[in-house]
Amino acid sequence: MWGLLLALAAFAPAVGPALGAPRNSVLDVAQPATTKVPGSIPAPNSSLAQLPAETANGTSERHVRIRIIKKKKVIMKKRKKLTRPTPLVTARPLVTPTPAGTLNPAEKQETGCPPLGLESLRVSDSRLEASSSQSFGLGPHRGRLNIQSGLEDGDLYDGAWCAEEQDTDPWFQVDAGHPTRFSGVITQGRNSVWRYDWVTSYKVQFSNDSRTWWGSRNHSSGMDAVFPANSDPETPVLNLLPEPQVARFIRLLPQTWLQGGTPCLRAEILACPVSDPNDLFLEAPAPGSSDPLDFRHHNYKAMRKLMKQVHEQCPNITRVYSIGKSYQGLKLYVMEMSDQPGEHELGEPEVRYVAGMHGNEALGRELLLLLMQFLCHEFLRGNPRVTRLLTEMRIHLLPSMNPDGYEIAYHRGSELVGWAEGRWNNQSIDLNHNFADLNTPLWEAQDDGKVPHIVPNHHLPLPTYYTLPNATVAPETRAVIKWMKRIPFVLSANLHGGMNDFSYLHTNCFEVTVELSCDKFPHENELPQEWENNKDALLTYLEQVRMGIAGVVRDKDTELGIADAVIAVDGINHDVTTAWGGDYWRLLTPGDYMVTASAEGYHSVTRNCRVTFEEGPFPCNFVLTKTPKQRLRELLAAGAKVPPDLRRRLERLRGLKD
């Protein structure tokens, strides 16, 4: 449907720099670290100093099981393991009593500066360089925090920057584009299903021209600082610089890495913009928004408070309700926005936005909280576009489908949450894959020629296994399914998740999935720009519900609406049904359509309905007449006398059968 696709085209870029791979490949074992080649001896305060005593071959004799995921096969192998220190999350440069390359304990520092933008792609590929690369797929442009690899190593989408094995002085360099105040570095190892590579320590250097460099130094000794890095591929490790540095370029110089591997890393740089006194560099306009909205991340308590504030500010057009509870007992709150909140108005379509299916994907959650604030604020200002939206449709906003997962991610913070932490609910269920598979039985029925005469092409029932008491169905999933059934939604968007097929096949609702950002949990200072990137698209997509036909199917005798009447469009193998008041909506692109309305106990009616390029929807109403058998059934049930005309019709029908 090109109109819907045009609306989606306005959303921020959906495709990230990597094709995601299942993150079952997290390795829970460390191996001995490899030092740099002679000539670059690591300082005694490197992570090697923390390792326990080794056997002659460099490993301890303790054996552990390693879980390796190879596509869909789980292989259990035994491997000798060297005990490693506890993974670090926030680290300081290591401290030892020796003078060379060490640091005194740094005073308490705040992270202060936001990310420079490697993860969010604000830093372009051309501004990332390295001393060497094993392949194009392991080039410096892949050295971005949380970047994902494909299932196959060696393709264009590997999961880190990796230096060549023979590179004796590897480095990874970022060009900030203008003088910048660098305050910290976050690193990860290589994301790969097949290999384990990560840097265990590194140094940091700075330059204004990429030729003359100086290092981050210890306050007391004046020697170059050596920073502890990673002890597994995925846990982000933050190091704050002992002294923030103003420069244009920053380099990370791996000093040690996992034994048997190569120096591989993914990184984010914490940096604040500074003004150039010589005006030699053009300053980029500061990202922001003129809308007076609350641009920050909201945990569960803050989200609930904000929704309450929006309702109190706009009580006549809002209603806050809950559709159920999470596994941990947190309510799944929905903000309803309409000129008549709390009731379905005949002929008025219902639309919804859902976010937060994966708890660590915070942008969708914040965009919906911003959208409800914006709609309230603009309605009070008399914005005609917003006023029309709220008077012509009923909007439902579910900002957090997985509040349990979000609380975990929020506690870790936007830059340290990683790719997987907080993704699942508290039962370790991925809600993205928790909805029933209705595609497979439908496709099988189509192949057997059973659709739509034996197997319907709409409102497919839930599979038997899915309804069993011991079925693995999260309470969050059950709550959303009940919500779908209770309200006759016409159009929906999931700000990331796999329930769009389920919604389309189990209900009337046409739903799409919107991938919002390369950065799952963007820093708060990026929220104003992300709002501006997506604001118009969020409004435009809602307006697409006007495209197509809409009407009411009524009973000829009573003039009442007929619930569950089927609306079939010739040439389109997917029907919709009427709501309890007999009203329906069918999204269609411009053109002429033969549309049939049918209901049990009624004669079907077919008519031509035209959809124009003008704003709709085009009215296409139906009046159905009861069949003689249905009329007789109703009269007998009421104890009424059969009228002469009905008696004659029934006699003629009996004669035709004889």
Q: Strand 33-35 vs strand 227-228: parallel, antiparallel, or unpaired?
A: unpaired
* Dihedral, 406, 407, 408, 409 alpha carbons, nearest 10: 50
Q: Does residue 402 contact residue 359 with C-beta atoms inside 8 Å? A: yes
Helix 362-381, helix 403-412: angle, nearest 10:
100
Exposure string for 152-176, b = 16+ CB within 10 A, e = fewer: ebeeebbbbbbbbeebeebbbbbbb
**Rg of the chain, C-alpha, whole Å:** 31
Q: Which helix (H) or strand (E) holds 511?
A: strand 510-513
Q: Does residue 89 contact residue 238 with C-beta atoms inside 8 Å? A: yes
Q: Which two tokens stand for residue 355?
A: 């976010």
Which residue stretches of 488-526 are H helix?
Answer: 500-506
Q: By CB neighbour count within 10 A (0-12 exposed, 13-18 middle, 19+ buried), where does 77 fall?
A: exposed
| Rounded Cα gap, residues 8 and 613, in angstroms | 18
| Rounded Cα gap, residues 546 and 523, in angstroms | 36
Question: What's the half-sphere exposure (Cβ side, CA atoms, 13 Å) at 592?
Answer: 2
Cα of first residue to Cα of last residue in the chain, in angstroms, is 50
| Rounded Cα gap, residues 307 and 403, in angstroms | 15
| Rounded Cα gap, residues 570 and 590, in angstroms | 15
The DSSP annotation for 377-395 comes to: HHHHHT-HHHHHHHHH-EE
Question: What residues have CB less than 8 Å from 448, skipping those under 6 apart?
Answer: none
Q: Which helix (H) or strand (E) holds 471?
A: none
Query: Residue 586 CB: number of other CB atoms within 10 A?
Result: 26
Active-site residues: which are they? 515
Question: What residues have CB less than 8 Å from 422, skipping those under 6 apart?
Answer: 358, 359, 360, 405, 406, 407, 408, 409, 410, 412
Helix 384-392, helix 527-543: angle, nearest 10:
50
Q: Which two tokens stand for residue 401?
A: 């489908």
Backbone dihedral angles phi then psi of residue 137, each to the nearest 5 degrees: -70, -15
